[in-house]
């Protein structure tokens, strides 16, 4: 037993020490490095324009070679201190193998759960680690107990396509009606609330709704708390997709006012790929059955709502390091910086002829994510051609998004290490694309 404890502590102590050294401005080899410490007294809005500070932050990241990558909505790149912690954990897990996993891992995962819960402002027993928000959201939808024939469920065109298809699966499998509303391509908080209000009034048989905090297609912010409060008053349960919002926006889970929320940690928190979380508010577990075969039907353990099989132990062990780095910059500072980078291109693009900018109409309704397309070109094929031109002609990588009722679009998603000058390159490219559309 003492040998096992000594071995485990030696490996995990190395991970913790590496993270602590990085946070204090010293790298793993003892070499001094720049520390992303925000200057005292600077507001998030002031810091958003401080290119020198964000260059310091950017020094912690390895950059994509051969292209300007403005597609960081897929997953977030690990900063080097996080990557180092992950690789240390990977080596330890590989060496200790099942001896560690079966004897000691549970206690170490509990620490990662605790850090997630603390960052969200939740209780530890309200959080379970998942592989991603998709796993979290799918399990809640699939295991929701409150539906029968004649009931209805609600989705919106801005929701993640796979989550919408899962709600349609409920329609096919349980005989419920699926109601889908369309959110305008440019909307504000009042517009969105009115559309959900109308859906509630028109469909008194609604029992469950999916709501997206930040749309993956164009970064639109949905007023989740206000909509959820109205839904709750009508007896409608709400599952929230926060896959894109945690770390992109500064909030706590209580601010959303919902019982069930699906998160990614590998996007804006910067944890290794394959890390997410499911939040289930205390007292709400009875409405969601345990994963089939996991525990009794009345088991109130949040972990029993997910059964991931064998997963990446090292990725989960690196979650505290990711939260450490994220918090050293500050969520409010990251949010302000990413909003600023978005404004640099959207403020220009919205005045370019033949170019359509999608997403929020006001600051309360947009994030660092944005999308565009050529006016009148709404097919996925046309959006794909536009994305390919941006890459081949201008060396800027982006991604096509689908699912909006209005059609396809090209999403632009900068990260904290992107500079204002790089966004300037995008603006120049968009001008050329707009001019070519005029002459076509």
pLDDT of 3 > 50? The answer is no
Q: What is the pLDDT of residue 171?
A: 87
> Is residue 68 within 8 Å of 425, Cβ to Cβ?
yes
CA 331/CA 44 separation, integer angstroms: 9
CA-based torsion, 331, 336, 337, 341: positive or negative: positive
Return the DSSP state at 214: B
Token pair in block for residue 147: 């539906």
Sheet holding 370-374, edge to edge: 186-187, 355-360, 370-374, 409-412, 399-401
pTM, entire model: 0.92
pLDDT of 298 > 90? The answer is no
Give the CA dihedral 40, 42, 48, 53, nearest 10 degrees.
Answer: -30
Token pair in block for residue 54: 């964000």
- Comparing 127-131, 154-158, 288-292, 403-407, the range with the smallest average pLDDT is 288-292
Q: What is the pLDDT of residue 300?
A: 84
Residues in Cβ contact with 310 at an 8 Å cutoff, skipping those fewer than 6 apart: none
Q: State the CB neighbour count (10 A cutoff) for residue 379.
A: 12
Q: How much is the average pLDDT of 97-122?
A: 98
Cα angle 232, 236, 241 (rounded to 5 degrees) comes to 90
CA 37/CA 199 separation, integer angstroms: 46
Backbone angles phi, psi at 409, to 5 degrees: -155, 170
Confidence of residue 42 (pLDDT cuts 50, 70, 90): very high
Indicate the average pLDDT of the chain: 92
pLDDT of 6 > 60? The answer is no
pLDDT of 23 > 70? The answer is no
Residues in Cβ contact with 10 at an 8 Å cutoff, skipping those fewer than 6 apart: none
Q: How much is the average pLDDT of 278-289?
A: 96
- Comparing 5-19, 242-256, 364-378, the range with the smallest average pLDDT is 5-19
* Residue 43 parent element (H or E): none
pLDDT for 391-429, tens place per residue?
999 999 999 999 999 999 999 999 999 999 999 999 999
Q: What three-state secondary structure class fits 412?
A: strand
Q: What is the pLDDT of residue 182?
A: 98
Q: What is the pLDDT of residue 22?
A: 38
pLDDT of 1 > 80? The answer is no
Most confident of 9-23, 47-61, 289-303: 47-61
Token pair in block for residue 269: 């928190």
Burial code (b: 16+ CB inside 10 Å, e: under 16) for 239-266 equals: bbbbbbbbbbbbbebeebbbbbbbbbbb
Confidence of residue 8 (pLDDT cuts 50, 70, 90): low
Question: What contacts 24+ positions apart, CB below 8 Å, involve 419-422?
Answer: 419/51, 419/54, 419/55, 419/58, 420/49, 420/51, 420/341, 420/344, 422/68, 422/70
pLDDT of 367 > 70? The answer is yes
Q: What is the pLDDT of residue 439?
A: 62
pLDDT of 226 > 70? The answer is yes
Could you tell me the domains of the chain?
107-323 (3.40.640.10), 333-439 (3.90.1150.10)
CA-based torsion, 425, 427, 430, 436: positive or negative: negative
pLDDT for 269-283, tens place per residue?
999 999 999 999 999
CA 358/CA 373 separation, integer angstroms: 8
Q: What is the DSSP string of 152-191?
A: EEEEETTS-HHHHHHHHHHHHHH-PEEEEE---SEE-HHH
Confidence of residue 436 (pLDDT cuts 50, 70, 90): confident
Q: What is the pLDDT of residue 437?
A: 78
Q: How much is the average pLDDT of 294-303?
A: 81
- The number of residues in the chain equals 440
pLDDT of 4 > 90? The answer is no
Confidence of residue 293 (pLDDT cuts 50, 70, 90): confident
Strands annotated E in 172-306: 177-181, 186-187, 206-212, 237-242, 260-264, 276-280
CA 53/CA 293 separation, integer angstroms: 51
Residue with tokens 């709502």: 305
pLDDT of 390 > 50? The answer is yes
Cβ burial of 32 (10 Å; 0-12, 13-18, 19+) is: exposed
């Amino acid at each position: 037993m003492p040998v096992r404890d000594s071995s485990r502590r030696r490996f995990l102590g190395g991970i913790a020490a590496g993270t602590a050294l990085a946070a204090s401005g010293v790298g793993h080899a003892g070499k001094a490095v720049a520390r992303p410490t925000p200057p005292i007294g600077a507001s998030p809005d002031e810091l958003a324009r401080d290119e020198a500070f964000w260059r310091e932050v950017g020094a912690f990241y390895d950059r994509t070679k051969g292209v300007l990558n403005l597609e960081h909505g897929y997953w977030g790149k690990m900063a080097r201190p996080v990557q180092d912690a992950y690789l240390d954990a990977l080596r330890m897990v590989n060496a200790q193998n099942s001896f560690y996993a079966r004897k000691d891992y549970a206690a170490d995962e509990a620490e990662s759960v605790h850090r997630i819960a603390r960052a969200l402002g939740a209780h530890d027993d309200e959080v379970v680690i998942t592989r991603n928000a998709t796993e979290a959201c799918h399990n809640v939808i699939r295991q929701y107990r409150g539906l029968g024939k004649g009931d209805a469920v609600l989705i919106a065109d801005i929701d993640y396509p796979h989550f919408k298809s899962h709600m349609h699966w409920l329609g096919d499998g349980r005989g419920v009606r699926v109601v889908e509303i369309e959110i305008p391509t440019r909307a504000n908080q009042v517009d969105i609330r009115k559309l959900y209000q109308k859906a509630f009034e028109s469909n008194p048989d609604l029992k469950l709704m999916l709501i997206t905090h930040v749309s993956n297609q164009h970064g639109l912010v949905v007023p989740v708390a206000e909509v959820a409060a109205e839904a709750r008053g009508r007896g409608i349960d709400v599952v929230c997709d926060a896959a894109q919002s945690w770390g992109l926006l500064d909030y706590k889970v209580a601010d959303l006012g919902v019982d069930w929320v699906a998160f990614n940690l590998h996007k804006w928190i910067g944890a290794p790929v394959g890390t997410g979380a499911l939040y289930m508010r205390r007292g709400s577990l009875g409405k969601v059955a345990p994963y089939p075969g996991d525990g009794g039907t009345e088991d109130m353990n949040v972990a029993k709502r997910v059964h991931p099989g064998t997963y990446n132990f090292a990725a989960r062990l690196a979650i505290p390091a990711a939260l450490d780095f994220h918090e050293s910059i500050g969520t409010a500072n990251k949010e302000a910086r990413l909003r600023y980078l978005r404004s640099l291109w959207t403020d220009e693009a919205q005045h370019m002829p033949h170019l359509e900018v999608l997403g929020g109409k006001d600051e309360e309704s947009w994030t660092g994510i944005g999308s565009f397309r050529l006016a009148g070109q709404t097919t996925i094929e046309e959006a794909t051609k536009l994305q390919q031109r941006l890459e081949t002609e201008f060396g800027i990588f982006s991604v096509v998004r689908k699912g909006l009722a209005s059609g396809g679009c090209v999403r632009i998603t900068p990260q904290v290490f992107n500079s204002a000058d790089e966004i300037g390159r995008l603006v120049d490219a968009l001008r050329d694309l707009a001019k070519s559309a005029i002459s076509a």
